[in-house]
Amino acid sequence: MAFDYDLYVIGGGSGGVRAARIAAGEHGAKVGLAEEYRMGGTCVIRGCVPKKLMVYASSFAVSIEEARQFGWTVEAGGFDWPKFRAKLDTELDRLEAAYRGGLTRAGVTIHDTRAVIEDAHSVRLATGERFRVKHVLIATGGRPSVPEVPGGATLLTSNDIFKLDALPASALIVGGGFIACEFACILNGMGVKVTQAYRGPQILRGFDDEARDHLAELIRAQGVDLRTGTDVAEARDVEGGVHVNFTDGSERVFGKVVYATGRVPNTEGLGLETLGLKPGHKGEIVVDEWSQTPVPSVFAVGDVTGRINLTPVAIREGHAFADTIFGARPREADHHLVPSAVYTQPELGTIGLTEAAARAKGPVEIYATTFRPMRSAFAGSPDKVLMKLVVDAGTRKVLGCHIVAPEAGEMIQLAAIAIKMGATKEDFDRTVAVHPTMSEELVTMRKPVRKG
């Protein structure tokens, strides 16, 4: 059977682009790729990259106040959102061009349109073109999920924040996950009066409880009206914004209401039903450890599989797929001990087991400390950082590390190397501290605060 392509990738995000580029550029496969919106996917266009740049922008109000405490004579003007957004758009255009250039140089044929699967070896573009393909890789990512809210109000998602013409005077962020917490801190830092509402008892479900509690206190201290145990009962558009009734009986008008209540895999209309592929309980494409679906010629990587929804994981999955199928180097993507960071202010960096999860497996020792770092203390800030290690009482291996501090994402990346290698608490103890730093506390905690 003659094929038009050895591989056809549906989706131009991080996972799909990496798979296409490696398959074509390193392994000589004939590759086509379809992307219906913009190259780069969620991370580059409406996720990690623009969000992190917004984190940087939102942090300067605190930095300016710190500068005064350190002896500088500085005055802050108002934050110019249109100026920032214009520069942000330019940067995203640059990054998208870089993604396209990488694909083109690797020999990948790009189709800027939607593609659907017609059968195990056929894809059809919205333009009407049809291709016979040996392998299909689905890398369509995910999208924000917004529940039905009584009242019919205009509700935004995280995707919409990047395209606001102006910042509102006030905003309600609904949700308690990392996206909700990050945007609550970002908008608060940019001068928006922010309320964050989450129906659960505490934000960041799934993260370490001690770290969650510590971060929630800091978020409130920065001025975010963080309200747990409540949800939106009704929201309706009114003059000047959105009138919200909460389930606790309170009500308020906000300039904008942003829902960050989860994401769902982008599988609608792909043609999966024609292949007999049934989605998982969250709507994800079910794959095995090789990213292969029950249809041997069809694979999937990234957020659409619902495994670990992080950009570096999608990239690893795409690379492993390309090496396995086209490079004669079979390997699975490693989903064990994946570090991550929540870009709140301050940040939360984490790897490995939470204290609760570790205790469920056996006896542990907990080493933890909170303190005012030198910079904050000198500037008169009451904010404290948290450093925490979860240690197996028997093997002495460090099972988890949780950091709440400025630049925690940078710190957890380095701690992750040691923990991934199987470092014990004694390995940490033998490491000489770098002084004066916040992270030196990771190697100077000698006595556990809890056992059992």
Domains and CATH numbers, the chain: 5-143+264-326 (3.50.50.60), 156-261 (3.50.50.60), 346-451 (3.30.390.30)
Is the omega angle on the peptide bond into residue 373 within 30 degrees of 0, that is, cis? Answer: no
Side chain identity at 156, as an amino acid letter? Answer: L
Residue-wise pLDDT tens digits, 52-111:
999 999 999 999 999 999 999 998 888 999 999 999 999 999 999 999 999 999 999 999
Kindly tell me if the per-residue pLDDT of 126 is higher than 80: yes
Three-class DSSP labels, 382-404 = CCCEEEEEEEECCCCEEEEEEEE
Note the Cα 362 to chain centre separation in Å.
30
Tens digits of residue pLDDT in 260-295: 999 999 999 999 999 999 999 999 999 999 999 999
pLDDT in tens, 17-32: 999 999 999 999 999 9
- Over residues 395-420, the mean pLDDT reads 98
Nearest CA among 238, 32, 30 for reference residue 153? 238
Contacts of 214 (CB under 8 A, 6+ apart): 370, 384, 386, 404
Rounded CA Rg of the chain: 24
Q: In terms of Cα–Cα distance, which of 178, 179, 222 is closest to 204?
A: 178
Which residues lie below 8 Å from residue 176, measured CB to CB, with a gap of 6+?
Answer: 196, 198, 199, 200, 202, 203, 204, 205, 228
435 catalytic residue (yes or no)? yes
Residues 6+ apart with CB under 8 A from 257: 153, 154, 155, 156, 171, 172, 174, 232, 235, 242, 244
Let me know: does 285 contact 273? Beta carbons within 8 Å. Answer: no
Residue 452 has pLDDT above 80, yes or no: yes
pLDDT at 342 over 80: yes
The distance of Cα 421 from the centroid of its chain, to the nearest Å, equals: 24
Does residue 1 have a pLDDT over 80? Answer: no
pLDDT for 5 equals 98
pLDDT tens digits along 189-214: 999 999 999 999 999 999 999 999 99
Q: Which residue in 135, 319, 335, 435 is the catalytic one?
A: 435
Q: Kindly state the average pLDDT of the residues 231-235.
A: 97
Q: How is residue 413 written in tokens?
A: 């990346």
Task: Please tell me the distance from the alpha carbon of residue 255 to that of residue 187, in angstroms, as a whole number.
Answer: 12
Please compute the mean of the pLDDT values over residues 23-50 and round it to a whole number: 94
Pinpoint the alpha helices (H) of 27-148. 41-46, 48-58, 60-69, 81-106
